[in-house]
Amino acid sequence: MSRVALITGINGQDGYYLSRFLESKDYEVHGITSCSKPGIGEPPKNCYYCDFAEGSNLNEILDRVKPDEVYHLAAQSHVRLSFDIPVYTAEVTGVGTLRLLDAIRYYEQQSGKKVRFYQASSSEMFGKVVETPQSETTPFHPRSPYACAKVFSYWLTINYRESYGMFACNGILFNHESPRRGEAFVTRKITKAVARIKLGMQDKLFLGNIDAKRDWGFAGDYVEAMWLILQQENPDDFVIGTGETHSVREFLEAAFGAVDLDWRKYVEIDPQFYRPAEVELLCADPSKAREKLKWEPKVTFEELARLMVEADLKRAEQEKLL
């Protein structure tokens, strides 16, 4: 009998890579997706609609799917946007996790089954960092409503583990990108613009703080870490990142460099993209994951920029044909 996984946020970047990874491991994969999209119709097979700002059908979904593992990836995940819609972000990204944890607690109690729970915690929780690199023992200093909501979810995950003996774990993932990254995130915004500039479809790119530094990895590598976290003997929390940090400038260099263009000719600063409070630098210390999970990222920073540019070139070429 194959194991059953339930992924919230299955239509997001990580949901895409994780569902394919789990299918390759012979899991039966079910998903929850947000119902806020226009033109909503019948959900696809093995897919359920639920808005985490509301969550009234979570008990019913758990009862139907009977999952062995739940990966909670759903969130309002855009940091800049969380300053504009802080209460909604707190509802979805914070209280939404509590809704799901409590539904799982009740499901375990009613069914006698055990469920393994993965919480998508975020390096944004380190925010105004108190030490570099950041590990599992680094204190948090969140710098956005998004990060505050993630800290709330992080602690609720640990609280449900300690209070009810649930197998509930946090993966504290540093930024992870791919051709499926949303276009409002800086890497994808850049690679999309690079492709369009190269093909003569755009001539400028407006950005905010290009001195910010992040530890960027490839999402396809990171979903394996999520799975490994739930395969351990005991529930625990792990930092997942590359251990390297690069500035937005360096990403510009790599992405424009992939098509032999000089980014300085095309990039302009627009304060509209500054954040009220900024996270200047993130860099993971992934040694615990390396030792206990035997996890290593495979795609390098340059490869990541190049593969994203190549995917966006294909998309832009298609768009040009239309």
Residues interacting with ligand GDP, by CB under 6 A? 79-80, 124, 175, 184-187, 189, 207-210, 212, 214, 248, 273, 275, 278-279
Cα dihedral 102, 105, 111, 115, rounded to 10, equals: 110
User: Are 292 and 232 a contacting pair, CB within 8 Å?
Assistant: yes
Residue 158 or 212 with smaller CB distance to ligand GDP: 212
Q: How far apart are alpha carbons 284 and 131 in whole angstroms?
A: 10
Beta carbon of residue 133, minimum distance to ligand GDP (angstroms, whole number): 16
Residue 48 or 154 with smaller CB distance to ligand GDP: 154
Beta carbon of residue 239, minimum distance to ligand GDP (angstroms, whole number): 15
Could you give the count of Cα atoms lying within 13 Å of 26 in the half-sphere of its Cβ? 3
Task: Convert 13-59 into a string of H (helix), E (strand) and C (coil).
Answer: HHHHHHHHHHHHCCCEEEEEECCCCCCCCCCCCCEEECCCCCCCCHH
User: Are 117 and 154 a contacting pair, CB within 8 Å?
Assistant: no
Residue 214 or 306 with smaller CB distance to ligand GDP: 214
Beta carbon of residue 18, minimum distance to ligand GDP (angstroms, whole number): 18
**Is 162 among the catalytic positions?**
no
Beta carbon of residue 65, minimum distance to ligand GDP (angstroms, whole number): 30
**Is 124 among the catalytic positions?**
yes
Beta carbon of residue 123, minimum distance to ligand GDP (angstroms, whole number): 8
CB-CB neighbours of 104 under 10 Å: 27
Q: What angle do CA 80, 319, 251 make, to 5 degrees?
A: 40
Determine which one of 34, 77, 121, 122 is catalytic.
Answer: 122
Determine which one of 91, 124, 177, 224 is catalytic.
Answer: 124
**Is 146 among the catalytic positions?**
yes
Residue 258 or 267 with smaller CB distance to ligand GDP: 267
Beta carbon of residue 1, minimum distance to ligand GDP (angstroms, whole number): 38
Residue 62 or 279 with smaller CB distance to ligand GDP: 279
Which residues have CB under 8 Å from 126's CB, separation 6+? 134, 138, 140, 141, 279, 282
Q: How far apart are alpha carbons 214 and 157 in whole angstroms?
A: 25
Q: DSSP labels for 279-311?
A: --B--B--HHIIIII-----S-HHHHHHHHHHH
Backbone phi and psi for residue 71, each to the nearest 5 degrees, phi listed first: -110, 115
Residue with tokens 């040009």: 320
User: Are 118 and 67 a contacting pair, CB within 8 Å?
Assistant: no
In the bound complex, which residue of the shown chain has the CB atom lying closest to ligand GDP?
Answer: 212
Beta carbon of residue 291, minimum distance to ligand GDP (angstroms, whole number): 26
Determine which one of 118, 146, 154, 222 is catalytic.
Answer: 146
Residue 80 or 290 with smaller CB distance to ligand GDP: 80
Residue 201 or 277 with smaller CB distance to ligand GDP: 277
The beta strand positions in the chain, using DSSP E, are 4-8, 28-33, 47-49, 69-72, 116-122, 167-173, 176-177, 205-207, 213-214, 217-218, 238-240, 246-247, 267-269
**Which residues have a catalytic role annotated?**
122, 124, 146
